[in-house]
Chains A and B, each alone.
Chain A
Amino acid sequence: MIEVRGLTKRYGDRVAVNDLSFSVEPGTVTGFLGPNGAGKTTTMRLILGLDSPNAGTVTVAGKRYEDLPNPMREVGALLDAKAVHGGRSAYNHLLCLAQTNNLPKRRVDEVLELVGLTEVAKKRSKGFSLGMGQRLGIAGTLLGDPKVLMFDEPVNGLDPEGILWIRNLMKALAAEGRTVFVSSHLMSEMEHTAEHLIVIGRGQLLADCTMEEFIARSSGQSVRVRTPQAELLAKAVAMAGGDSSYADGALTVQGLNAAQVGDIAFDSGVRLHELTVVRASLEAAFMELTGDSVEYHAAMPVPAVGRN
């Protein structure tokens, strides 16, 4: 259980986190979403006491992080898998972490086994691939068998197998009743893992709700139609009170459901090659919510992200 109350952090003139309040509950994966520069990493650093806030408080299990008697037994956090000394072996890296919290040596072997790094345990982490480095970082978070786990952008740059592994691990950890708090700017990733969402933009809270609520709150669904008579159908749709737009050889209709669009096409004698309901993805809902709060807008038009 993580509780954030009125948290504010400024770096010089820039406000990174602005009066942020939320709670992260045990037993589910909570996704922490926001565009790049929204303040996700800063918030996590504040939770861990790496930075001190200008205002507000953070508690984990009811205590300030630095007051936890055995921090690694309460919280396992991975902010940056590259934050290791590359000259140290995986085993020794984990050993020196375990020793700070008086955790037994054999726990190091266990977590190495758990993340599948036993064979390279004696190798210096300098030579590790991105995925191996990520596994080493995650092994470190599991050392103390903690009740709360925090991961900052854990799937960044990983191959599909690595992504799947982390996704399943997070679900398994939550299923065991732990608090799992994971940040991402990849909405599609959260869609498969998180049950609860906390969305921020420009350091402020934009949404704190379940995944279903978040999608339902978005603009809803649209219908994609492919037809050789797009112009004719667009007119008919407009007369029936719908909106449509034409792009990439397909007409996207909003304000009417698939049955209505099919009937209109039949009535106006338009031949259809495709009629598909497009459910609003988390991606679209997220873009809509954070559109105004993106830190750095691209100067050039870029193709839409996602799979709409």
Chain B
Amino acid sequence: MAAVVTTGLPPASGRSGLRGVLRSEFTKLKSVRSTYWTLLALLAVSVGLGAVISWATEAHWKNMSPGDQATFDPTQTSLAGMFFLGQLVIVVLGALVLTSEYSTGMIRTSLTAMPRRSVVYEAKALVFAGVALAVTLVASFITFFLGQALLSSTQHQASLSGPGVLRAVIGSAVYVTLCGLFAYAVGSILRHTAGAITAVIGVLFVLPIIVNVLPHAWHDAVVRWLPSSAGDAISATVGHPDHVFSGWGEIIVFAAYVAVLLLVGGWLFRTRDA
């Protein structure tokens, strides 16, 4: 049989590290269909649901009380699709980044090719965060402009130059991306797709419901520390309740949770048997 050595391999230059692994992780993400389906679903549900809610509000406008009309937040309304369903989709994708490698066994192949695990962990997080932020920004702007167009007859539509509007549109994309990173971190701790998705949905969707039925004083004391409050606060442009931090303040609280979980997940990823 022919010699296995071929001329195609130039001598090594330096040590393999983050740059190559970033390229590899990007290849991984874009070479499976589930990535396209989930990102497409993210766009579709965010824009679609945002449009439906904006359209329904417009249709309902004449029946709303003057008080409700005065406190109406057209920016938050147009972005609502990203919060109801968009973040759910990104949670699935974020969890899958690592858990799919465990369920297929690919993780053993990946770590044989690149045994420096912190590099692998960082590269996965960076590539996912970059892609998620790009797509959620697109979704956020599309859903905002579409929503405002649908709300035009109310004479209450927002424009990007309005107070807090640009912050809300960009911040919402940041929030949804953080949800994805949150799921990535939980996935690296649990190493199980369904478990990770369930846990994250529990925190983002179920926990606020539980907190909502608490007595008022308790609710007001706790609600600012909920991860999901970041989404409510960052997307709001009208009125601001006293019992939550500012939009970016809430984002910092959420980002701190995510950072801690990423550190724990990274430590487990480095030390556990693969």
Residue numbers in B under 8 Å from A96 (CB-CB): 24-25, 27-28, 31
Which residues of chain B from 98 to 157 have any CB-CB distance to chain A below 8 Å in the complex?
100-101, 104-117
**A100→B114 contact, CB < 8 A:** yes
6 of the cross-chain contacts (CB-CB < 8 Å) are A85-B101, A93-B31, A95-B31, A97-B24, A97-B109, A102-B20
CA distance A144 to B10 in the complex (A): 10
CA distance A97 to B31 in the complex (A): 13
**A100→B8 contact, CB < 8 A:** no
**A61: CB under 8 A from chain B?**
no
Interchain Cβ contacts within 8 Å, total number: 134
Residue numbers in B under 8 Å from A129 (CB-CB): none
Residue numbers in A under 8 Å from B6 (CB-CB): 107, 110, 114, 145
Which residues of chain A from 118 to 174 have any CB-CB distance to chain B below 8 Å in the complex?
140, 142, 144-145, 168-169, 172-173
**A100→B31 contact, CB < 8 A:** no
**A220: CB under 8 A from chain B?**
no
- The residue in chain B whose Cβ has the minimal distance to the Cβ of A72 is B113
Identify which of A52, A65, A100, A142 gathers the most chain B CB atoms within 10 Å of its CB.
Answer: A100
- The residue in chain A whose Cβ has the minimal distance to the Cβ of B20 is A102
Residue numbers in B under 8 Å from A75 (CB-CB): 112
- The residue in chain A whose Cβ has the minimal distance to the Cβ of B21 is A100
Residue numbers in A under 8 Å from B28 (CB-CB): 85, 88, 96
Identify which of A45, A83, A92, A140 gathers the most chain B CB atoms within 10 Å of its CB.
Answer: A83
**B159: CB under 8 A from chain A?**
no
Residue numbers in A under 8 Å from B108 (CB-CB): 45, 50, 79-80, 83
Contact A168-B27, Cβ < 8 Å, known A79-B108, A84-B104, A97-B113? no
Question: What's the minimum C-beta distance from A193 to chain B, rounded to whole angstroms?
Answer: 14
**A274: CB under 8 A from chain B?**
no
**B273: CB under 8 A from chain A?**
yes
Residue numbers in B under 8 Å from A88 (CB-CB): 28, 31-32
Q: Residues 1-45 of chain B: 1 if any A CB is under 8 Å from the residue's CB, otherwise 0?
A: 101111011101111100111011101100111100000000000
Contact A110-B8, Cβ < 8 Å, known A100-B24, A102-B13? yes
**A86→B4 contact, CB < 8 A:** no
Contact A95-B106, Cβ < 8 Å, known A50-B111, A70-B16, A88-B32? no
Question: What's the minimum C-beta distance from B245 to chain A, rounded to whole angstroms?
Answer: 41
- The residue in chain B whose Cβ has the minimal distance to the Cβ of A107 is B8
Residue numbers in A under 8 Å from B117 (CB-CB): 66
Select which of A82, A89, A107 is within 8 A of B9 by beta carbon: A107
Binding site for A on B (CB under 8 A): 1, 3-6, 8-10, 12-16, 19-21, 23-25, 27-28, 31-34, 100-101, 104-117, 271, 273-274
Residue numbers in A under 8 Å from B8 (CB-CB): 104, 106-107, 110
Contact A83-B106, Cβ < 8 Å, known A50-B274, A88-B28? yes
**B10→A104 contact, CB < 8 A:** yes
CA distance A104 to B31 in the complex (A): 18
Identify which of B106, B113, B114, B274 gathers the most chain A CB atoms within 10 Å of its CB.
Answer: B113
Select which of B16, B101, B112, B271 is within 8 A of A102 by beta carbon: B16
Top-9 shortest CB links A-B: A83-B105, A92-B31, A99-B24, A66-B115, A51-B273, A69-B15, A96-B27, A100-B114, A99-B23
Residue numbers in A under 8 Å from B105 (CB-CB): 80, 82-84
**A48→B20 contact, CB < 8 A:** no
**B15→A83 contact, CB < 8 A:** no
Select which of B10, B15, B20, B106 is within 8 A of A99 by beta carbon: B20
Binding site for B on A (CB under 8 A): 45, 48-52, 65-66, 68-73, 75, 77, 79-80, 82-89, 92-93, 95-97, 99-104, 106-107, 110, 114, 140, 142, 144-145, 168-169, 172-173, 176
Select which of A92, A100, A145 is within 8 A of B113 by beta carbon: A100
Contact A66-B4, Cβ < 8 Å, known A50-B273, A87-B32? no
Residue numbers in A under 8 Å from B20 (CB-CB): 99-102
Identify which of B13, B100, B108 gathers the most chain A CB atoms within 10 Å of its CB.
Answer: B108
Question: What's the minimum C-beta distance from B125 to chain A, rounded to whole angstroms?
Answer: 16
CA distance A95 to B30 in the complex (A): 12
Question: What's the minimum C-beta distance from B103 to chain A, rounded to whole angstroms?
Answer: 9
Contact A85-B104, Cβ < 8 Å, known A101-B114, A145-B9? yes
Residue numbers in B under 8 Å from A68 (CB-CB): 115
Question: What's the minimum C-beta distance from A84 to chain B, rounded to whole angstroms?
Answer: 6
Residue numbers in B under 8 Å from A85 (CB-CB): 28, 32, 100-101, 104, 106
**A52→B100 contact, CB < 8 A:** no
**A86→B27 contact, CB < 8 A:** no
- The residue in chain B whose Cβ has the minimal distance to the Cβ of A87 is B32
Residue numbers in B under 8 Å from A168 (CB-CB): 1
CA distance A73 to B16 in the complex (A): 10
Residue numbers in A under 8 Å from B4 (CB-CB): 114, 142, 145, 169, 172-173, 176
Select which of A51, A92, A145 is within 8 A of B5 by beta carbon: A145
Residue numbers in B under 8 Å from A80 (CB-CB): 105, 108
Select which of B15, B19, B109, B273 is within 8 A of A70 by beta carbon: B15
Contact A101-B113, Cβ < 8 Å, known A70-B16, A85-B101? yes
**A83→B113 contact, CB < 8 A:** no
- The residue in chain B whose Cβ has the minimal distance to the Cβ of A108 is B8
Identify which of A52, A96, A107 gathers the most chain B CB atoms within 10 Å of its CB.
Answer: A96
